[in-house]
Every structure is written in structure tokens, then in C-alpha cells.
Chains A and B, each alone.
Chain A
Amino acid sequence: MADVTLTIDGKRITVPAGTTVLQAARDNGIFIPTLCHDPKLTPWGGCRLCVVEIEGMRGLPASCVTTVAEGMVVQTASPQVVEARKMMLELLLANHPRDCLTCSKSGACSLQDYAYYYGVRGDKFHGEKHDYPLEDDNPFIVRDMNKCILCGKCIRVCAEVQVNNVIDFAHRGFNTRVTPAMDLTLRESEECVFCGNCVQVCPVGALAEKASLWQGREWELTKVRTTCTFCGVGCNLEVSVKDDHVVRVRGYDNPLVNSGWLCVKGRFGADFAESPDRITRPLIRVGERGEGRFREATWDEALDYTARRLQEIKEQYGSRAIAALSSARCTNEENYLMQKFMRAVIGTNNVDHCART
């Protein structure tokens, strides 16, 4: 595609035609705040925080939905733009609870960050605020619609990524809120699969993982990148840990695998990690098969034992006497290695998998 040259804040920038002003600015290190924008979702243009001034255009267009044009002259921080952004934040804060002290999102909240950046205290308007009841009737997600800023990301992720269309905007104007059909809760809707991708895209504290509440402040968490163990897809995870305790799991944005999205198991099934029933060391059987008696062993001992036994069986009964059953909870790479080992080392095609039906 042809290139377009434009000027943003006095800087000449060349980007491919069709790029948005927002993208062009961000690619060149120019800051523009956004709340409803997500490059992985369809453009929405609703929060209006990303407004900029463009010569020759009426008003202040939203940069997330304005395409660059040759010779365009953009101002991202003119007094008019800053005034509008501050006002937008004042308006959002005027109908937002003041409980940053205990909000689980504190420290990772876009609204909080932008309010700090622009020095907006949220004390300009004193009017009606919503007082919706907290929705916590399901085991996974807590919804606090008083904190919702109606950016609509959750709606779009549900419709475009999970393709489940459980939630949408209902009512109008100031009373607009995000809800499943008929104003039911997520649980009552019986449609929600609790993938939790909505929680992950929420820029504020309106949606939270129930299990992570009160488990640690944002700045206390250590983030560990790992791979989900629930199936062979290999979704990349970012596990937040505090004091060796898994506080929450989010998708890690690896575009080659899961682009950051997860399913209910990967996101909410991490409690097995700290289960007392979990086998944490290799066990070698003692006594007869079926008695259920094991002793703990080191990895070296266990691997040596297994190698010796496989060799003995192969020598005594032949390669075809050995079969391997692998698990969907292993990664693709692990499954590949398993079959390679069976074919090349053991010399058999007796390979199977728990997910084969």
C-alpha cells in the first residue's frame, strides 16, 4: 500500500495509507490516551479520550477512527485537546466510585493513570452517581457496574473473540449499562462460558477475577510468563505471583499462539497448582501393583529406573510390547518428543493420546 506523509506535533511522519492517526502517533512515540481502543478489536470511537486537533477538520476528531491523509497536520496536545481530555476524565470520574484505596485495579487502571497524568481530581461535578448492586453470583468474575466507564471492550471481545455475544449495551444515555439480555447476571444468562477475556480487556476495575481479590496489590505481584498446561494449544500465560501464591492468570499476548486470549480453564483453573493432592515429586512403587504404595524419589533415580525398565522390557519382549499414552495437558513440543522417542528410540508405533476419540 502507498505511503502517506503527515505531520503530528510538528514531526513529519510517513506511514502506510489506511493507518489511523492514533497508530501513526503511537508508532512514532507520541502519546495519545485511549480507553475504548484495542488494536485487536474493531474500532469503536466512543470514549473520545483520544481526540486530537486536525487542521481543516471540524471539532476534535477521535484519532482511533480517523485515517491518515497526505499532508494532514495533527496536534495531539494543544490547549484545546488537553482541555477536552481533562473534561472527559472529569465526566468519567463524576460517575465513578472514589475507592482507589481498595480497588483491585489500582496501579494498573487506565482511568487512574490518565487522571494522574492530566492532574484531574474528579471534583468538578457533583451530581447523580449510579448505585448498582455488585454482581458476584458466579465463582469467577465480579462485576461492579458502578466502576464501568462504558468503553464497550468487554462487549466487543465477547462478540469478536469469544464469539459468544452474551453482553451488550442496554438502556440509554446516562443509564446505559453493559448487561446480558433481560438484565440478567452472567450466571443467570446461562450463555456466558466465563472465558474471562472481558476481565482482561477491562481498563478499569469494573470486572475483576474473584479469586484475586484482596490477594495482593498490583505492585506486589511478580509476573511470570509460562504456558498453559490444560491442553496442547499452548496458550501463553502471564501468571501473577505473590509470596509463591498464584494471584491471577492472564493471557500473554503471543500472536503466534493465543494473542493473549484464554479459556475458562487456563484463566480460572490455576488452583491445582497449590492443591495438597498435587504430585510434586517423582514416585516409585513399592510393593505389588494395586496396593497403591509409593515412595518419593529423585528425578535422577526415577529416570534411571524408567530407562532401565524400558530397556529390559524391550530386550525381553521386543519393541512392540511397549506403548506410550500421552496427555493433552502436555505441550505440542512435549507430545512431539514423546512420539519421536517411541519411534526412534524404542522402535514402535504404539503411540496414543488421551484426546483421541
Chain B
Amino acid sequence: MQDLKEWRETLQQQSHRGDRPSLTVGMSTCGQAAGGAKVMAALEEEIARRGLQVDISQTSCIGMCYAEPIVEVALPGKPRVFYGDVTPERVPTLVEKHVLQGEPVREWALIQLSGEATPYEGIPVMPGSTYYGRQVRVVTSRLGLTNPESLEEYIATGGYEALEKVLGQMTPEQVIEEIKISGLRGRGGAGFPTGLKWSFTRQAPGDKKYVVCNADEGDPGAFMDRSVLEGDPFSVIEGMTIAAYAIGADEGYIYCRAEYPLAIKRLKMAIAAAGEKGLLGRDILGTGFNFDLHIKAGAGAFVCGEETALLASIEGRQGMPRVRPPFPAQQGLWGKPTNINNVETYANVPFIIKNGGQWFASMGTEKSKGTKVFCLTGKIKKTGLIEVPMGITLREIIFDIAGGIQDDKQFKAVQIGGPSGGCLPEDKLDLPVDYESLTAAGAIMGSGGMVVMDENTCMVDVARFFLNFTQAESCGKCTPCREGTKRMLEILTRICEGEGRMEDLDTLETLARVVKNTALCGLGQTCPNPILSTLQYFRHEYEAHIKDKRCPAHVCQALLVYTIDAGKCTGCGACARACPAGAISGEKKQPHRIDPALCIKCGSCMEKCKFGAISRL
């Protein structure tokens, strides 16, 4: 343990950002998808071509996914400057101006992190910028700022201080007590108090116990867990090790979906590195405490995020949930007491132990403590990963942090909690984000996906989209979920296609309520939420589809009507040539018309018209 302290001190003195300029590229999945690897190659080529003494390294997602690829340039003793939308073409200018001449390229710079250095003028400083101003970065504090594959950097930034404290000074009961004081609740969505869960597993009789990390993140539009695993794998591992000590386990599993290859790769590297340094495995830090950690790659079934299905999958059985009780704390993996938490929950643990439960509890609301990571997607200006204190309002997140709606269109709804969440309208925007408020409004906290919708989104179509997802992911065990999701989807599809009847709404509502009340697991119990919440807040849209055969957002193809404004039409014939169905006719230089019987509503004519004469109703 003494060795670890000394090693940390040495690492901190050395500080990897030493006397040479450094270039760091965001190389998480988002960064790579945006072209980070090409930028990295261009940087390496440029540095080699000029024969410069510069460190080039990679980092994870800093959260501004909308601006990837992001490159950080840091000169010795100067602030770290982050550039967004970097292309290989911009690389020579960046190197020339910033690295060689010491002058940041201000028009490309997003933010700077100044630390003790004097900030550059004209570049927003990270904690005070509009994007980060309202954020409190705990779980994501290393993301985008350290090399996730480096144990040294983890330790230099305070990593493993918590484990040191736990193994050196605390009993398992004290650890659990500290987590209870913190008020941490499960970040997978249900919000069960973590300390209480740990104490159940600790108290469960049995000499063999397991800790399991649920990294089967499957919600469309959610990437919180992936970002944390890719950006700070050691924090999850340290959190799990502390949990193992607290509950009396000596073995653990991280159940991560195989669609996250980078997360799995980094976890493997991290487990190996921690094992080599005696931070995992036998006799951790010489204290006699053992903890072996394995990775189990899941095959991508959404239902395996449900804990009993997840355990079945680790055991090699079909991912089907079973009835609880017994809860995993009593009978979990291979029938042994098992503690299951989500990635973000474990990642919070080292910070809570290090800073104290009181510190964590000082953030958030009365019942929802600490911070929560959210993924902002949909029709907002700044998509990305944010971490905010519980209790912040939806309006602050969507308009202050994410900059509002794309093209300044009208906000319509925000969908929270993944496919099982609900759609909240404008008048719910001042709702504080905490477990109770969101549930009361008909949504759920979920794991933290937030999909923002604008005036061009059809709420019936949204409900149909999510039901299509849950219907495909239902495991098939219980009747209401297996058969009910299918029928709900069929009714929604019918309404979207203009074949709906008013009595469908009653059937839909009854069916949704029954499925919610009777399904076996969380998937089935929550899958009607998109329907129930849209029926509650956007019933008029359903009625427009059924009664007026009209899609107010102009999304549902079958209900669209294309017409040509005779006053604007010049008779150029471009639309008629573009029409694949031969539905447009008219004399040259005379107004054309569309035959609705032939029109297949593809929209090609509207795209082709240069005079704005074609409108969609």
C-alpha cells in the first residue's frame, strides 16, 4: 500500500504533460466515427514531416460529441486548448500556428482548460463555458482529459486512493454506511438505494458471493455507460473492487454487450494492468483481499439488461427474466448472493469513498443525490454527453447546455429513459430531473438517454418507433409483453397509415395499462410508457391521424398530400421528370398537377422544385 502512495507521488511529480508540447485526439467511438483516426494519422504525419518533438496521445469522449473529432493542444505551462471539428486539412495550420508559433487558432477553438496557467484571451474556459457551466463532472471527470488506457494517469489523477482508504482504514460495514450516507441510487434507471442493496448482499448467507456490473446498455440513443467504460475503465473496476470488499465477494463479472468492442478492449487492458500492479486478483495491495474480475460479452439482446436475464446469460442460459423474489442479493449468479449495479453506479463509488458520502449527498435533491450522466440526442444543437447535478430542470439541460433546438425550431417533446421512458411536453420542461418527479410525470429516469423532438416529429410515429423496438426485443416469456407489444405496434402502425379508428385509442389505452400492470419484468412493465405518455400529452395528434387522416408533423407517409401551387408553378416540368410514379402531368410552361391516386408520396417532386411551388400537407 505504501508502494502505491509513493508511486502516485512520483507519477504526479513527473506529470505526463511535461516540458514538451502534447497533442491529444479524442478516440472514443464517437471520435473515431467522426474521423478521429484520420486526424490522428494526419497529426503524426505532420509532426514527423516537420521533425518536431511532440507527444501524441489519445483520449476518450469529452462529451461534446457534436464537435468531434476533437484535438487538444497543450504547450508546456500553457492552458490546454480543445479544437472541434478538426479535419486532416486543418492539421497543418494547427501545428504551424499553435504548436510552433504558440498562438491558438481562436476561430476553431471550443474551450480551454487553464489550470494554473493564464488563460488565452478569446477562448471560453472550460468550467465557465455555456456547455460545461451547469455541469458537475464527477463520473466523467477524466473523460477527454486523460488517457483511458493508462493506469499511471489514472493513479496520478487520484485513482485507487479510494481502494487504498477502504482496504487500509475501513471495515466492510463502514464502506456500506458511507455509500448509504451518500444517498447514491442505482443509475441503471430504477433508482434503488445502492447502500441498501449492498447491505442485503452482505447479509445474505453464503461463503461465495459475486459482484456483477451491468454494462448491457441497450437503449436507442444512450451511450453513457459506453463513454464511461471507454473513458475511465479503471474507475468502474475500482468501484467494483470496493463493492466486492463491502459485500464479501471474491469474484466479479462485467456483462458488456459485444457491440461495444472498444469498451471491452479497454476493460481487458485495464483488468490486466490492474492485475499486474496487485490492484486486482490475489492479495490486493498486500491485504489478503482477493478479487478476480471477468468480462462476459453479451450478444445484444436488450432484455439482458434486466438483471435476472443478465445472470441467466452469464450462466450460459437463454436471456429470459425470472420472477423476483428471490432477488439476486439472495440468489443470484449460480444461485449465490450477487450484487448487480450499473456502470455509472460503480464509477461513482471511488469518488464517494474518497470525498465522503456527505460530499456526494450535498449535490442533488432531497431524494436524488449526486450527479447524473445524460446523453443528449435528437433535434438539439449540441448532442453529447453531459453530467449534471440531480434536480436541474429539463429546460436548463435542453436550452442552456445543449443550446436549444436545431434551426431554432419549436420544441415539442423530450423522451427520457430509453424505449421504456415517456415523452414529456413543453409544460413539463421546468420539472426537476430526479427519480420521483420524472416517474410522476409519466417518464422514468432510465439509464440517462434523452431524445429531444421538435415540431417536425410525429408523436404517434415516435410511439410506433419505440414499440417496434420493444416488440422486437421482448423475450417471449410472458403473454402481455410477447403478444401485447405486437398488437400495440399493429394498432400504432394502422393509425400511422391512416387506417385507425377512434375505438383503437381505447383498446390501445386499455392494452397498454394491462401490459404495464401484468408483465413479468421491467421491459414489459415499462414498454407501454411511450404510448401512455403520448396519449396523455399528445392525444390530439392521434385524433388528427384518425379523424382528419392527417399527420400534423408531416411525417407519416401514407397521410401526406402533395399539391402544386398553380400561382408559383412555372411549368418547367422538373417535378414530372422526377416523379417515379408518373403522377404529375401538365403542359409545358403551364401549371402542373399531381394525381393523388397515383402519387406514392416519396417527396421527389418537392425536392426538385426550384420555385417552392410544391407543398406537403
Q: In the bound complex, do residue B490 and residue A125 qualify as a contact, i.e. CB atoms below 8 Å apart?
A: yes
Q: In the bound complex, do residue A94 and residue B483 qualify as a contact, i.e. CB atoms below 8 Å apart?
A: yes
Question: Do A87 and B478 form a contact, CB below 8 Å, given A48-B520, A172-B301, A174-B483?
Answer: no
Interface string of A150-185 (1 = CB under 8 A from B): 101000000000000000110111111000000000
Question: Do A124 and B520 form a contact, CB below 8 Å, given A169-B320, A173-B476?
Answer: no
Considering only CB atoms and an 8 Å cut-off, how many residues of chain B contact the other chain? 34
Chain B's nearest CB lies how many Å from the CB of A261? 25
Chain B residues with CB under 8 Å of A172's CB are: 301, 472-476
Q: Cβ of A319 < 8 Å from any Cβ of B?
A: no
Select the stretch in B215-223, B507-515, B529-537 that faces chain A. Answer: B507-515
Q: In the bound complex, do residue A124 and residue B507 qualify as a contact, i.e. CB atoms below 8 Å apart?
A: yes
Q: In the bound complex, do residue B475 and residue A48 qualify as a contact, i.e. CB atoms below 8 Å apart?
A: no
Question: In the complex, what distance in Å separates the CA atom of A171 from the CA atom of B472?
Answer: 10
Q: Cβ of B471 < 8 Å from any Cβ of A?
A: yes
Indicate which residue in A59, A67, A92, A171 contacts B479 across the interface (CB closer than 8 Å). A92
- Residues facing A in B513-546 (CB within 8 A) are 514, 516-520, 525
Chain B's nearest CB lies how many Å from the CB of A37? 12
Q: In the bound complex, do residue B471 and residue A173 qualify as a contact, i.e. CB atoms below 8 Å apart?
A: yes
Question: Do A49 and B479 form a contact, CB below 8 Å, given A60-B517, A172-B473?
Answer: yes
The B interface is mostly helix, strand or loop, or mixed, namely helix
Chain A residues with CB under 8 Å of B507's CB are: 124-125
Chain B's nearest CB lies how many Å from the CB of A52? 10
Q: Cβ of B482 < 8 Å from any Cβ of A?
A: yes
Interface string of B477-499 (1 = CB under 8 A from A): 11111111111001000000000
Q: Cβ of B323 < 8 Å from any Cβ of A?
A: yes
Q: In the bound complex, do residue A83 and residue B510 qualify as a contact, i.e. CB atoms below 8 Å apart?
A: yes
Q: In the bound complex, do residue B323 and residue A59 qualify as a contact, i.e. CB atoms below 8 Å apart?
A: no
Q: Cβ of A51 < 8 Å from any Cβ of B?
A: yes
- Residues facing B in A15-64 (CB within 8 A) are 43, 45-49, 51, 59-60, 62
Question: In the complex, what distance in Å separates the CA atom of A175 from the CA atom of B486?
Answer: 10
Q: Cβ of A128 < 8 Å from any Cβ of B?
A: yes
Q: In the bound complex, do residue A169 and residue B318 qualify as a contact, i.e. CB atoms below 8 Å apart?
A: yes
Chain A's nearest CB lies how many Å from the CB of B299? 11
Chain A residues with CB under 8 Å of B481's CB are: 173
Question: Do A174 and B474 form a contact, CB below 8 Å, given A83-B510, A88-B479?
Answer: yes
Q: In the bound complex, do residue B487 and residue A169 qualify as a contact, i.e. CB atoms below 8 Å apart?
A: no
Q: In the bound complex, do residue A80 and residue B473 qualify as a contact, i.e. CB atoms below 8 Å apart?
A: no
Question: Do A173 and B517 form a contact, CB below 8 Å, given A48-B479, A87-B511, A124-B507?
Answer: no
Chain B's nearest CB lies how many Å from the CB of A230? 36
Q: Cβ of A211 < 8 Å from any Cβ of B?
A: no
Chain A residues with CB under 8 Å of B519's CB are: 48
Q: In the bound complex, do residue A45 and residue B323 qualify as a contact, i.e. CB atoms below 8 Å apart?
A: yes
Q: In the bound complex, do residue A171 and residue B323 qualify as a contact, i.e. CB atoms below 8 Å apart?
A: no
Query: Chain B: which residue is nearest A45 at the CB level?
Result: B323
Chain B residues with CB under 8 Å of A124's CB are: 507
Q: In the bound complex, do residue A59 and residue B518 qualify as a contact, i.e. CB atoms below 8 Å apart?
A: yes
Q: Which of B320, B479, B511, B519 has the most CB of A within 10 A?
A: B479
Chain A residues with CB under 8 Å of B477's CB are: 46, 150, 152, 169, 176
Q: In the bound complex, do residue A91 and residue B476 qualify as a contact, i.e. CB atoms below 8 Å apart?
A: no
Interface string of A240-273 (1 = CB under 8 A from B): 0000000000000000000000000000000000
Chain B's nearest CB lies how many Å from the CB of A277? 48
Question: In the complex, what distance in Å separates the CA atom of A231 from the CA atom of B141?
Answer: 74
Chain B's nearest CB lies how many Å from the CB of A24? 17
Q: Cβ of A8 < 8 Å from any Cβ of B?
A: no
Q: Cβ of A95 < 8 Å from any Cβ of B?
A: yes
How many A-B pairs have beta carbons closer than 8 Å: the answer is 106
Indicate which residue in B475, B514, B520 contacts A173 across the interface (CB closer than 8 Å). B475
Question: In the complex, what distance in Å separates the CA atom of A296 from the CA atom of B36?
Answer: 98
Question: In the complex, what distance in Å separates the CA atom of A171 from the CA atom of B471?
Answer: 13
Q: Cβ of A119 < 8 Å from any Cβ of B?
A: no
Interface string of B312-326 (1 = CB under 8 A from A): 000000101011010
Chain A residues with CB under 8 Å of B511's CB are: 87
Question: Do A174 and B476 form a contact, CB below 8 Å, given A87-B511, A124-B507?
Answer: yes
Q: Which of B318, B486, B516 has the most CB of A within 10 A?
A: B486
Query: Chain A: which residue is nearest B480 at the CB level?
Result: A48
Chain A residues with CB under 8 Å of B520's CB are: 45-46, 48, 62
Q: In the bound complex, do residue B517 and residue A169 qualify as a contact, i.e. CB atoms below 8 Å apart?
A: no
Q: In the bound complex, do residue B478 and residue A91 qualify as a contact, i.e. CB atoms below 8 Å apart?
A: no
Chain A residues with CB under 8 Å of B484's CB are: 87, 91
Chain B's nearest CB lies how many Å from the CB of A75? 13
Q: Which of A84, A91, A94 has the most CB of B within 10 A?
A: A91
Chain B residues with CB under 8 Å of A127's CB are: 486-487, 490
Q: In the bound complex, do residue A46 and residue B479 qualify as a contact, i.e. CB atoms below 8 Å apart?
A: yes
Query: Chain B: which residue is nearest A175 at the CB level?
Result: B476
Question: Do A83 and B490 form a contact, CB below 8 Å, given A62-B323, A150-B482, A173-B471?
Answer: no
Chain B residues with CB under 8 Å of A174's CB are: 471, 474, 476, 482-483, 485-486
Chain B residues with CB under 8 Å of A141's CB are: none
Question: In the complex, what distance in Å separates the CA atom of A186 from the CA atom of B571?
Answer: 68
Query: Chain B: which residue is nearest A59 at the CB level?
Result: B517
Chain B residues with CB under 8 Å of A60's CB are: 517-518
Chain B residues with CB under 8 Å of A6's CB are: none
Query: Chain A: which residue is nearest B318 at the CB level?
Result: A169
Q: In the bound complex, do residue A173 and residue B473 qualify as a contact, i.e. CB atoms below 8 Å apart?
A: yes
Q: In the bound complex, do residue A176 and residue B479 qualify as a contact, i.e. CB atoms below 8 Å apart?
A: no
Chain B residues with CB under 8 Å of A59's CB are: 516-518, 525
Q: Cβ of A65 < 8 Å from any Cβ of B?
A: yes
Question: In the complex, what distance in Å separates the CA atom of A88 from the CA atom of B484?
Answer: 8
Query: Chain B: which residue is nearest A173 at the CB level?
Result: B474
Q: In the bound complex, do residue B510 and residue A87 qualify as a contact, i.e. CB atoms below 8 Å apart?
A: yes
Q: In the bound complex, do residue B517 and residue A80 qualify as a contact, i.e. CB atoms below 8 Å apart?
A: yes
Chain A's nearest CB lies how many Å from the CB of B436? 15
Chain B residues with CB under 8 Å of A88's CB are: 479-480, 514, 518
Chain B residues with CB under 8 Å of A176's CB are: 475-477, 482
Question: In the complex, what distance in Å separates the CA atom of A84 from the CA atom of B484?
Answer: 12
Chain B residues with CB under 8 Å of A62's CB are: 323, 518, 520
Question: Do A47 and B478 form a contact, CB below 8 Å, given A62-B323, A125-B490, A128-B490?
Answer: yes
Indicate which residue in B476, B485, B486, B516 contacts A150 across the interface (CB closer than 8 Å). B476
Q: In the bound complex, do residue B516 and residue A92 qualify as a contact, i.e. CB atoms below 8 Å apart?
A: no
Chain B residues with CB under 8 Å of A92's CB are: 479, 483
Question: In the complex, what distance in Å separates the CA atom of A89 from the CA atom of B150?
Answer: 57
Chain A residues with CB under 8 Å of B301's CB are: 172
Question: In the complex, what distance in Å separates the CA atom of A127 from the CA atom of B507?
Answer: 14
Indicate which residue in A45, A65, A84, A91 contacts B517 across the interface (CB closer than 8 Å). A84
Chain A residues with CB under 8 Å of B471's CB are: 173-174
Query: Chain A: which residue is nearest B520 at the CB level?
Result: A45
Question: In the complex, what distance in Å separates the CA atom of A101 from the CA atom of B575?
Answer: 57
Question: Do A91 and B518 form a contact, CB below 8 Å, given A172-B301, A174-B474?
Answer: no
Chain A's nearest CB lies how many Å from the CB of B320? 7
Chain B residues with CB under 8 Å of A94's CB are: 483, 487
Question: In the complex, what distance in Å separates the CA atom of A80 from the CA atom of B473?
Answer: 27
Chain B residues with CB under 8 Å of A128's CB are: 486, 490
Query: Chain B: which residue is nearest A87 at the CB level?
Result: B514
Question: In the complex, what distance in Å separates the CA atom of A59 from the CA atom of B471?
Answer: 21
Chain B residues with CB under 8 Å of A91's CB are: 479-480, 483-484, 487
Question: In the complex, what distance in Å separates the CA atom of A95 from the CA atom of B510?
Answer: 19
Question: In the complex, what distance in Å separates the CA atom of A237 from the CA atom of B318?
Answer: 36
* A-B pairs with beta carbons under 8 Å apart, 19 shown: A46-B478, A46-B479, A48-B520, A59-B518, A60-B517, A83-B510, A87-B480, A92-B483, A95-B483, A125-B490, A127-B487, A128-B486, A150-B476, A150-B477, A168-B318, A172-B473, A173-B474, A173-B485, A175-B476
B residues adjacent to A (C-beta < 8 A):
301, 318, 320, 322-323, 325, 471-487, 490, 507, 510-511, 514, 516-520, 525
For the A-B complex with A48-B518, A48-B519 known, give 13 more contacts whose Cβ atoms are closer than 8 Å. A59-B516, A59-B525, A62-B323, A88-B479, A88-B518, A91-B479, A92-B483, A124-B507, A127-B490, A128-B486, A149-B479, A150-B482, A174-B485
- CB-based closest 7 A-B pairs: A176-B476, A91-B483, A173-B474, A127-B490, A59-B517, A45-B323, A65-B323
